[in-house]
Structure 1
Amino acid sequence: MGKIYPRGLFLLFILMFTSCGTFFNQPFKTSKARIGENTSVKSIITGILPVEEMVVGVYKFRDQTGQYKLVENGSTFSTAVTQGGTSILLKSLADSKWFAPIERENIGNLLNERQIIRSTRQEYAANSGSKQVTALPPLLFAGIILEGGVISYDSNIITGGSGARYFGAGGSTEYREDRITIYLRAVSTLNGKILKNVYVSKTILSQGLSANLFRYVSLKKLLEVETGITKNEPAQLAVKEAIDKAVENLIIEGIIDGLWKPQGGKPVVGFIKEKYYKEEAEAESTILLDRKMEDRRGKVAVSFSTGTAVMDGDYPDSKTSLTMSSDIKIFLKKPDFSLNIGIGYLKLENESIYKQDYITSDVNLEYSVLPYDNFTPFVYGGLGVVSSLSNLDNTLGKFQYGAGLEYLPTNNVGIKIFGEQNLMFSDNLDGMINGKRNDHYWRVGVGLNFYFGRPKEKVKSAIFE
């Protein structure tokens, strides 16, 4: 039992330095107040200013979901979404430099304070004998009112994790993703018309990592170690980022529709349109869970592969041998199905008994499980023939099926690995008929796919439009 102790310490150090490296970056002391985090990425309209700032009013922009925080045990009355959406929106409007926000959320407080100022000035004028009372300047009025709010908070839209344990040592990871959705609309105070209505969503990620060790280091001594870390993306910062993006989209769509104008004229408008249309096309091709529905593989492909084959026939002691093939892949109407037509070279042999070279021709129907992703499993099946190079009249039919994985390091180029079984319609492939089962052979290989005719992204031309 004494020999286990060093191994236990070794496993402990492995867990500390690999699985839980963040352990050494834990906060052990309080931090000072700091300027709030800048959550948004670089905006399309960064550095572009308006011809004239627009005065806007925001009465309320709040949580409309009624969602409460999730807890494992018991109940809570804490809301999942910040109730300060109006304050966040006013800050975003001011930072954009396109809008001049005015106070409307607590207009009652403002009016009361102005009334106090008037009363104080009148009382001072009466006590001092002055006949003139200085009037307050009029309040600004908004040409546009911004409305909307956080309209959805979806919890656990995707959850998962992984873990392993061996001989008392183990580790695990977990993750969870939530999603918030906001709407923001601009309303004209002149006639009540809704000028623009934009919609933005943002995911909120939570991750957890843990590792533990449970071992007897001696007969009466038990070593138990546990460590881990959990990281939760702050919901308030997610709301802020979504609101910043909504304000940006409101400005851009307003520019495109001619509601407001940027400095620089038509060239600047054309630049903004081009960038926004590209981002819009990318958003349209992205579905829930950030999966991008992009056609990465084109309409036609040429494939080259090599590998090994092994005979399973009437002779014993089969040997692995070389195989090569090339295919033309033609995608059908749906991007997940394709027709593959191929020709290849095949060598089959056994120990000191049988060796033969063949030419193969195959026609397969292939199904890609994730046709829009850069990594996808695929399965296929079809019919083909095998012809002996020494005697082309010796041609036998077969049925083949297989499966594999394809990865695209870049669009139009794929790397694949696959395995397949070829079932002959005859027992005479190896020149010997014996038993009731027909001959067959296995093939495993790697290859490259080169795609052509991939549709270009449909982005509107916007220069000087």
Structure 2
Amino acid sequence: MKTNKLTKNVLLSPLILLLSSCTLFNLPTNSEQSTLGETTPYTPQIKNLPPPKEKIVVGVYKFRDQTGQYKAAENGASWSTAIPQGTTTILLKALEDSKWFTPIERENIGNLLNERQIIRSTRKEYAGNDANDASLLPPLLFAGIILEGGVVSYDTNVMTGGIGARYFGLGAGAQYRQDRITVYLRAVSTSTGEILKTVYTSKTILSTSINGNFFRFIDTERLLESEIGITQNEPVHLAVTEAIEKAVHSMIVEGVRDNLWANKQKNPADFANIISEYNTESSINDSRSIGNKFPQNHRGTMALFANAEAFQIKGDYINPKMNVGFKGGFKFFINDHFNTELNFSTVTFQNTGILKETVLMSEINLEYLMLPNYKFSPFVYAGAGTLFLDNETKYKSQAGGGLEYLLNSQIAVRLSAQYDFGFSDDWDGFVNGSRNDQGVRIGLGLNYYFGNRKSKN
């Protein structure tokens, strides 16, 4: 009876968790009403620009998807385009929001001319004696500037990654993917045909997925399995809108800065801070690379580090136990990628009920930092070392790797794993078989970088 009750509780717990997760993950359970469209971070920026003394009349004939990119499909081919086809409309809305331009209809100019002809014909037919005067219409505005360009690139899987773990039938994981769109916008003078200004913007599109699962045999004939997950994809439409709004904002600011429309400013002093912030962004952008990263090696030429490490011996006795020890040392960088390392550590050899002994080790390693110009970088290393055991010096080699994340210009967090290869079989005081004693360790610690690194510029 007690066993059945326990089994029932075990079966019901994942179901309760699954139901409660609807609230936890904010999963939609009802249809939503239509709403106004979302805004992007640049929508208020272009709306709050200082107003011009006189608006600039612009025409946009076409500002379209020039990528020819189709949506990625897991099964079969997809003939749906990856980029929205209404980018001209998005640009016209951004121009209107900025209050710096008077956009005029040019994309469907044929429809406009046909409608004006219908108006003239109707008025002339029913106006009687005043037919000629009644058929007159106000002249169409002509554009001083034509805006050209489009979405020129859509790159998929610019960056992908994930993390996950599973233990005893319980697992969880997360994945992400970044795509990237690129927009070019240019202003052309209608009087001379001169290209006055060209701006270029880009925007990443983030997709994330989080999932968890539970898998367990309740008995020999009953299996309990449950899953939960959520996926979120950044709308491509909003990404395109943000990139276009950024292009319009850049066009206005650069035009004011370069005196392309200096006579249009109502108060030139209002743009001083905006131009200063834009110039700062441009200088920072000079060091930007793919994936919206800033490849600048802020790490110093030397580093001190300290790790807490869990160590487990792989010897001849059964029931090895993992214990936490300490490692500290010094690094000196040979170049951006390679550094030499000297460290000292304390580890504990333990087999339950048989052996427990604390040992001092020292190591010399050569480390390779794979992405030194990025805050997040994998690394690998290898080297040789010694351990002092029972008043004797024994020798070993080691290899390992891990991940480093730079919190600021001096402090970095490191997660590492290492395997020690012994040159003898007597670490645990017992010689048995042909395999030498070994060890495995997992560490978490901090690096403190110092020493000025010469700039390549």
- Would you call these one fold, judging by a TM-score over 0.5? yes
Task: State the TM bucket, normalised to the shorter chain.
Answer: 0.7 to 0.9
2:3 is the alignment partner of 1:5? no
Letter in 1 for 2:28: Q
Counterpart position of 2:66:
64
In structure 2, the gaps of 5 or more residues are none
Counterpart position of 1:84:
86
Task: Note the C-alpha offset of 1:221.
Answer: 9.9
What TM-score results when the alignment is normalised by the length of structure 2?
0.73
Say if 1:170 and 1:331 are closer, same or farther in 2 by CA, change over 3 A.
closer
Counterpart position of 2:196:
195
Counterpart position of 1:96:
98
Say if 1:216 and 1:365 are closer, same or farther in 2 by CA, change over 3 A.
closer
In structure 1, the gaps of 5 or more residues are 460-465
Counterpart position of 2:281:
279
Letter in 1 for 2:55: E
**1:378, 1:403 within 8 Å by CA — same for their partners in 2?**
yes
Counterpart position of 1:260:
261
Say if 1:241 and 1:312 are closer, same or farther in 2 by CA, change over 3 A.
closer
Larger CA deviation: 229-238 vs 52-61? 229-238
Supply the distance in 2 between the matched residues of 1:272 and 1:110 (Cα, whole angstroms): 38
Say if 1:106 and 1:422 are closer, same or farther in 2 by CA, change over 3 A.
closer
Task: Note the C-alpha offset of 1:146.
Answer: 0.5
Task: Note the C-alpha offset of 1:241.
Answer: 1.7
Deviations 1:278-327 (A, max 9, x none): 333444434333344233323333345676889999xxxx9999987764
**2:43, 2:245 within 8 Å by CA — same for their partners in 1?**
no
Larger CA deviation: 378-387 vs 44-53? 378-387
**1:281, 1:457 within 8 Å by CA — same for their partners in 2?**
no
Counterpart position of 1:251:
252
Counterpart position of 2:332:
330
Larger CA deviation: 443-452 vs 367-376? 443-452
Say if 1:181 and 1:349 are closer, same or farther in 2 by CA, change over 3 A.
closer
Match of 1:17 among 2, 15, 20: 20
Say if 1:37 and 1:214 are closer, same or farther in 2 by CA, change over 3 A.
same
Letter in 2 for 1:187: V
Give the secondary-structure state (helix, strand or coil) at the position aligned to 1:287: coil
Deviations 1:89-113 (A, max 9, x none): 1110010112111111122222333
Task: Note the C-alpha offset of 1:215.
Answer: 8.9
Counterpart position of 2:155:
154
Task: Note the C-alpha offset of 1:349.
Answer: 9.8
How many residues get paired?
449
**2:302, 2:449 within 8 Å by CA — same for their partners in 1?**
yes
Supply the distance in 2 between the matched residues of 1:415 and 1:274 (Cα, whole angstroms): 35
How do 1:149-298 and structure 2 match up within 5 A? Answer: 149-157=150-158, 176-207=177-208, 230-261=231-262, 262-265=265-268, 268-269=271-272, 271-298=273-300
Task: Note the C-alpha offset of 1:38.
Answer: 0.7
Deviations 1:378-405 (A, max 9, x none): 33345678999x9xxx999986655454
Match of 1:113 among 97, 112, 115: 115
2:452 is the alignment partner of 1:449? no
Deviations 1:220-250 (A, max 9, x none): 9998877765544332222212211111122
**1:170, 1:211 within 8 Å by CA — same for their partners in 2?**
yes
Deviations 1:416-462 (A, max 9, x none): 455667889999999xxxx9999999887665322235679999xxx
Counterpart position of 1:29:
31
Sequence identity percentage? 47
What TM-score results when the alignment is normalised by the length of structure 1?
0.72
Supply the distance in 2 between the matched residues of 1:357 and 1:83 (Cα, whole angstroms): 68
Supply the distance in 2 between the matched residues of 1:237 and 1:245 (Cα, whole angstroms): 12
**1:366, 1:381 within 8 Å by CA — same for their partners in 2?**
yes
Say if 1:263 and 1:397 are closer, same or farther in 2 by CA, change over 3 A.
farther
**1 or 2 for the larger relative contact order (CA 8 Å, sep ≥6)?**
1
Letter in 1 for 2:203: K
